[in-house]
Amino acid sequence: MPVPIIQVDAFTAHPFGGNPAAVCVLQEPRDERWMSRVAMEMNLSETAFLHPIADGYLLRWFTPAVEVDLCGHATLASAHVLWSEAHIDPNATARFHTKSGLLTCKKKGSWIEMDFPAKLEQPAEAPPRLAEALGAEPKYVGKNQFDYLIELADEHTVRTLKPQHHLLRDLPVRGVIVTAPGSGEYDFVSRFFAPGSGIDEDPVTGSAHTALTPFWAARLGKTEMNAFQASPRGGHVKVRLEGDRVCLAGQAVTVLRGEFLA
């Protein structure tokens, strides 16, 4: 039986911006090998697979190379699909049971707000050749269970960075977040590199903002901030720190509908 698949651009209000994710809403679980092969075929940074359970949906995320424990933009895309394709009532909360626990999404006008656990980083020693891999000298190095978080000198350095992905690929983490204070409408900017997970640069990374939000809240003295991920596609994320939780808000737009026949 054909399996519907929908491609969504997340953290943007316009097609071909933000971060694309594929979403498969299944009627029943499929085996891990099939999901991995679908993610390889889609060749996007993430493909989300979800199916209904008693209290919401079970949600898993796959890159073309590996399954991951937390993904923001594909969660945003999944919630968008549940509402836009009438799987759940437009006023209902989308509830996802994941490897990172229960994640919820609510509609706030044209925005979708996600409730995620904060992933605090701690100061860490810079791994060998980090500055060489990034092409810039770190101002601060931190690490959490997923990623290194690197503060760089300024926004311009973040935006113009040209890292050596083959060197970053050797780091024993999911990815590397680089960040600096923002200017104008944005409190901070960031980029995210994850060549070891099969993604040289992720366009907009919700899960990275679960570390960036508490990091910048402590430094800027505010709990609500506007963030911009300065990849070539770019994406706007509204963030709010609430204790040990981070609320991330973004927009999303459907760009493609299709069916898998295999």
| CA angle, 123 then 129 then 131, to 5° | 70
Given 28, 41, 46, 155, the catalytic residue = 46
Do residues 9 and 253 touch, judged by C-beta distance below 8 A?
A: yes
Told to judge if 201 belongs to the known catalytic residues of this protein, a careful annotator would answer no
Categorise residue 234: left if φ over 0, alpha if ψ from -120 to 50, beta otherwise: left
User: Residue 249: which of 198, 206, 192 has the closest Cα?
Assistant: 206
What's the distance, Cα to Cα, between the start and end of the chain in Å? 8
Burial class (CB in 10 A: 0-12, 13-18, 19+), 103: buried
Two tokens at 203? 């366009």
Q: Alpha-carbon distance 227 to 239, whole Å?
A: 7
CA distances from 184 to 181, 189, 213 (A): 10, 11, 18
**Chain-centre distance of CA 60, in angstroms?**
13
CA 129/CA 167 separation, integer angstroms:
8
Burial of 65 (0-12, 13-18, 19+ CB in 10 A): middle
Q: Which residues are tagged catalytic?
A: 46
